[in-house]
Structure 1
Amino acid sequence: MMDWDKLRIFHAVADAGSLTHAGDALHLSQSAVSRQIRALEESLNTTLFHRHARGLILTEQGELLFDATRAMTKRLEAAEARIRDSVEEVFGELRVTTTTGFGSLWLAKRLPKLYAQHPDIKIDLMLEEQVLDLPMREADVAIRMKEPSQADLIRRRLMSVKMRLYTVQPYLDQYGTPETLDDLTSHRLICQNTRSTQVNAGARLAQELLAQNVPSVLTVNSYFGVLQAVLNGLGIGILPDYVTEDHPQLIRVMPETESNEVPVYLAYPEELRHSKRIAAFRDFVTAEISDSQHRLRVAHNP
């Protein structure tokens, strides 16, 4: 059976790529770390690192062991956080998954408020279109652009989103304002590539508009890229409506053209029902959305 202490030292060395840096992190001398690594290699009868002048590189066997220690470390951190969750404090890592667009354009810029409320929380923000498996603990909490279908999840509908057409005034000054779909033949359309993974409503709207024989098109694989191109006056972009609060210079065009409604859900595993971290994140997101919707209502109906 492998020695836990040696595994802990191996993990630190593999993570740092250096005996010296690992020793600093563990408060051990380089020679002590080196002895433990040699002893572990001898007990396994294998070589775990290739030694180079620039540092250490894992062998194939070392990679296998590092995968195992990384998983162990994650499980231990999660256990520690769940134990700490049982007391009245918000502490530890919270793995949040959501789409690249929502995470980069809406959530990330609001996180300073959450950290101000709970400075000891550690957010691991995973932005990807792939739906991670919450019951299998690939993430702790998800914000998804459709109702989750997995069992054993607690879910809450947060809001609805629509994809709409936006540009900026300098672009309109130069190219005019389109009024109908036919007018798009005189404009540049900016959208997510319809082959990119995205909500169906956004892809369908892009397909409908691209069918108008738009002569100039820029496709990007994220709404963050679409937004940057629009803000720089490159054309008319298909964007989720939640971007307008943070970018008041956006001007909506062709208001009769929009996607179907996209529901936004927050979900987390049933077993985390009593997690203080989950509750803190859920309450924060819910409050931010409520505040955003109130500000938009006031702006539209002063």
Structure 2
Amino acid sequence: MDWDKLRIFHAVASAGSLTHAGDILHLSQSAVSRQIRALEEGLDTTLFHRHARGLILTEQGELLYDATRHMTKRLDAASARIRDSEEEVFGELRVTTTIGFGSLWLAPRLPALYEKYPDLKIDLMLEERLLDLPMREADVAIRMKEPSQADLIRRRLMTINMRLYATPSYIEKNGMPASIRDLGTHRLISQNASAAQVSAGAILVRELMSYDVGSTLSVNNYFGVLQAVINDLGVGVLPDYLTQDFPDLVRVLPEIESAEVPVFLAYPEELRHSRRIEVFRDFVSEEVIAYRRRQREAEASPVLNP
């Protein structure tokens, strides 16, 4: 099969238009059209439905596009590995993690990484769905469980717990709960127990909801829960890694917390020698070490509750 025709097919399928694909490939629309027609004739099938609003892949076209998409990812990975050098770090690095950890812990720390490697281009993909690293949906992942996929290099970074927090102003106005039953006079802010999240967090929410809780607010990610808490809406179920960046948060009912949640960094075995992976892995590891040190110092210091 002609690689050049496949390259043009992939561009057309991605753009949904002969004209847009031509602009990307620096080819005329007629030249792109001829190549697509030749590919269809060679495969003896129709790859696109032609509509006034653009092109739509046929079932056969979808199959071919899935193949060219995987080929493109593999070629991009090979190209990146070839470009990586011992001295320079540049190019795109696709990082996936959860919305909460990515927006509340990782993103605020990235300026230090960019300061050291200004030519690095990070594509931060925040979602609860586990992306397929061996199929190169992402280059590196930070996950709240140990990855089960084969051919991955994994490193345990730290453990976290879900705990209850509120602001000093909220506590001053509404009082500090003395027991779990006191939550009946407070608003509980959390992710819905059925929402995509770590199982330990869902178990804690279900346990809290088994009591006579008063008003509730459910948000589908921890960033939203945090925003509600710092705006004095109630007592929130939040991961404990927030306390260093939001030191004014007051822990509520310190005897209540989720089971430990392990945090792992993982990347494909084939990217073992990538400089971009190496510097990102080392950066995150150093930040975790600093985080743990500050956590130990905070735990050793006396805590003054309002």
Output the TM-score relative to the length of structure 1: 0.87
SS, match of residue 171 in structure 1: helix
CA gap 1:61/1:158 in 2 versus in 1, 3 angstroms: same
Answer yes or no: is the 8 Å Cα contact 2:70–2:135 preserved in 1. Answer: no
Partners of 2:102 and 2:21 in 1: CA distance: 33
- Write out the 4+ residue segments of structure 1 that deviate beyond 6 Å after TM superposition: none
CA gap 1:273/1:59 in 2 versus in 1, 3 angstroms: closer
More off after superposition, 145-154 vs 275-284: 145-154
SS, match of residue 176 in structure 2: coil
Tell me if 1:57 matches 2:56. yes
1:94-105 equivalent positions in 2, closer than 5 A: 94-105=93-104
1:19-58 equivalent positions in 2, closer than 5 A: 19-58=18-57
Tell me if 1:194 matches 2:186. no
SS, match of residue 253 in structure 2: coil
Which residue pairs with 1:285 in the alignment? 284
Partners of 2:253 and 2:139 in 1: CA distance: 40
Partners of 2:32 and 2:135 in 1: CA distance: 35
Answer yes or no: is the 8 Å Cα contact 1:11–1:66 preserved in 2. Answer: yes
Q: How many residues are matched?
A: 301
CA gap 1:95/1:183 in 2 versus in 1, 3 angstroms: same
Partners of 2:33 and 2:234 in 1: CA distance: 59
Cα offset, 1:134, TM superposition: 4.2
CA gap 1:289/1:72 in 2 versus in 1, 3 angstroms: same
The residue type equivalent to 1:11 in the other structure is: H
Which residue pairs with 1:223 in the alignment? 222
More off after superposition, 214-223 vs 140-149: 140-149
SS, match of residue 76 in structure 1: helix
* CA distances 1:257-299 after superposition (whole Å, capped 9, x unpaired): 2223222222334443322122111111112223334445566
Partners of 1:35 and 1:267 in 2: CA distance: 44
SS, match of residue 212 in structure 2: coil
Which residue pairs with 1:237 in the alignment? 236
CA gap 1:193/1:119 in 2 versus in 1, 3 angstroms: same
Cα offset, 1:181, TM superposition: 0.8
The residue type equivalent to 1:58 in the other structure is: L
* CA distances 1:87-131 after superposition (whole Å, capped 9, x unpaired): 543234433332232122211333333333333434343434444
Answer yes or no: is the 8 Å Cα contact 1:51–1:57 preserved in 2. Answer: yes
SS, match of residue 221 in structure 1: coil
Q: What percent identity do the matched residue pairs reach?
A: 73
* CA distances 1:194-217 after superposition (whole Å, capped 9, x unpaired): 223322322222122111110222
* CA distances 1:21-40 after superposition (whole Å, capped 9, x unpaired): 22222122222222222322
CA gap 1:161/1:43 in 2 versus in 1, 3 angstroms: same
Tell me if 1:163 matches 2:162. yes
The answer for unaligned runs of 5 or more in structure 2 is: none
SS, match of residue 6 in structure 1: helix
More off after superposition, 144-153 vs 22-31: 144-153
Tell me if 1:68 matches 2:70. no
Cα offset, 1:188, TM superposition: 1.0
Cα offset, 1:136, TM superposition: 5.4
* CA distances 1:1-23 after superposition (whole Å, capped 9, x unpaired): 3x211221121122122222222
Which residue pairs with 2:271 in the alignment? 272
SS, match of residue 46 in structure 2: coil
The residue type equivalent to 1:224 in the other structure is: F
The residue type equivalent to 2:60 in the other structure is: Q
SS, match of residue 253 in structure 1: strand
SS, match of residue 5 in structure 1: helix
Partners of 2:84 and 2:28 in 1: CA distance: 35
The residue type equivalent to 1:142 in the other structure is: A
Which residue pairs with 1:204 in the alignment? 203
The answer for unaligned runs of 5 or more in structure 1 is: none
CA gap 1:67/1:276 in 2 versus in 1, 3 angstroms: same
Partners of 2:211 and 2:256 in 1: CA distance: 13
